[in-house]
Amino acid sequence: MDKDPFLHLRVFDLNCWALRYLSKLRQERIALIGDVLNQEGFDLALLQEVWSERDYWELKKKLSARYPSSHYFKSGVIGSGLCIFSKHQILDTFLYQYSVNGYPYMLQHGDWFCGKSVGLVELKIQGIVFNIYVTHLHAEYCREKDGYLPHRVVQAWELGQFIQHTSKGADIVLLGGDLNMHPEDVGVRLLRGWAGLQDSFMAAEKVEGCEDGSTLVPANCFTNQKEMQFYPQGIRIDYILYKGSSQYEVRCNSHVTTTGTVPGKGIPYSDHEAVLATLSLQKTGSDKALNHPTVDPVLVDILNEARMEVRVGLLSAERQRYSCGRMAVLALLLLLMQGAMALSSMFGRTMQPFPKFSFSLLALLAVVVLLISGVLYLFHTIEVKILQGTEEQMRVGLQSLQDKLSSG
């Protein structure tokens, strides 16, 4: 095996927090992000929460000399917010939108409208095939009562499966993005164990920046300080993960996070800190798979834990479906009763017991409740089917793991 790496890759990852009309100093920060990307000349820039296509096109125009190849991933109502800028020619792209992603009636959160996804681009550098993934998972709004945890676990599972099934022809796999999970959370452990990915922070030879590699820190003026009161050192929810192949080994030489304000500017790039990783590639000269861990018994426990979280979500979805179905049936019964009363007053001798205006208003209310509850019943039925399917996939994966462990 060659002792010296023959290729270095510098990667920049950032959740840009660039929502039009809502994000503070959005245009100024987008300009600063473009400036640092031009100055540093990374090989890859993986960006999330670039919700406005106008911001993407401004960045593309500004970075065209340094990053001649780029792609913006479109999905959902307001977009995925994902984009990639590359020094190297992008050969192919693909987008997978996660099958569950919150609820449309949770307007204050809005994740459902974003169409959270994983974007894939394929590169070839010096004859080496790279699969580059960028993603943004559902946000965590309350850690103590996290109603979205099952959805985020499903997204982590789908992300791992997507990487597994699309990277078979790749020499190097690289994933960057805001996973909205702490390093010890089951979703992150599932990605590392099931997809065989290495965490750049944990594997780095040199680490600089925020303590513990945190990317949400109290020192950032845009961070919600109330959410950070239990985490004075910050939280690490943004990641660069990678793995090599039987032909190439990947090492992380350095993992760096930005620390608050941009020097000389007085504001940070975003409410998140950026992650900068330098990776080096070496040819293995053997057929032994590197960066692909053998089956670890701990992975069985991780998969069982993930499956349990999906079951919790499934029970919740079934309860919500039942409630919506019951509400729809009650609204339908009310409409039928009103219809019977109207027919009785029209063709019979009985008088209408309610004023016409009140009767009409009640009928309108029943129709609205019937429509809303009917639509939500269908929505939660789809959610139930997806969660059932994911649990079955995990059961099959668990059985496969147990068979491999028992066979030695």
Active site residues: 272
In order of 182, 248, 271, 360, the CA distances from 267 in angstroms are 25, 40, 10, 57
Task: Give the C-alpha separation, 177 to 188, whole Å.
Answer: 12
Identity at 304, one-letter amino acid code: N
Q: Report the distance separating Cα 132 and Cα 154, nearest Å.
A: 21
Residue 335 structure tokens: 């409409």
**What is the CA angle 59-21-17, rounded to 5?**
50
Tokens in use for 272? 């998140």
Q: Rounded to whole angstroms, how far apart are CA atoms 36 and 275?
A: 13
Task: Give the whole-angstrom CA distance, residue 160 versus residue 243.
Answer: 12
Q: Which residues are CB-contacts of 193 (< 8 A; sequence separation ≥ 6)?
A: 293, 296, 298, 299, 302
What 3-state class would DSSP assign to 292?
A: coil
Q: Tokens at residue 70, please? A: 């780029």
Taking the C-alpha atoms of residue 201 and residue 254, their distance in angstroms, rounded to an integer, is 8
Q: How far apart are CA 195 and CA 306, in angstroms?
A: 14
Helix (H, G, I), strand (E, B) or coil at 92: strand
d(C-alpha 39, C-alpha 382), whole Å = 47
